[in-house]
Amino acid sequence: MNVLIAEDEPISRKVTRALLRRHGHFAVALPDGQSAFEVLVNNPDFDLVITDVQMPHMTGLELIQALRRETRFDALPILVVSGVISVTQVAGLLELGADRFLAKPVDEKLLMREVASLERWRGGGSTHAGSTRAADSRAVG
């Protein structure tokens, strides 16, 4: 699986990339949402985006909004990984188009479970329908 990581904290960025690579995934890690969006626009061959919420230049929220405005990214799963966020904020991110949420610090088993689940979901030809997002956001609350 080709994974694009948007994470401003260098240690978290390095650890997440290393975990993904250890499990056989190709991972590119960038320091902010703007860089991630530019890479995706120019190279849409990524299968998953993992993003932090609070980043400079373009936040994770802004990245999600930008990706969901582009129909070519409708089927691109987005996993949000953040440490300082409320349940209400998680629900808002899911409503905007994120597919899953994990709390920091990243647990390797949980991360790999979510990556595998999103890979199966994407492989099944699913798209991000509103009913799927609504179900995900209800599960958070």
Range of the domain at 36: 2-140
Assign 84 a pLDDT band (cuts: 50, 70, 90). confident
**Residue for token digits 């936040």?**
59
Number of domains in the chain: 1
Helix (H, G, I), strand (E, B) or coil at 30: strand
Rg (CA), the chain: 13
- Token pair listed for 117: 């689940």
Q: What is the pTM of this model?
A: 0.86
Element housing 66 (H / E): helix 60-69
Tens digits of residue pLDDT in 45-83: 999 999 999 999 999 999 999 999 999 999 999 999 998
Question: Which segments of 79-129 does DSSP mark as H helices, in order?
Answer: 87-96, 108-123
Assign 44 a pLDDT band (cuts: 50, 70, 90). confident
Distance between CA atoms of residues 96 and 23, nearest Å? 29
CATH number of the domain within which 120 lies: 3.40.50.2300
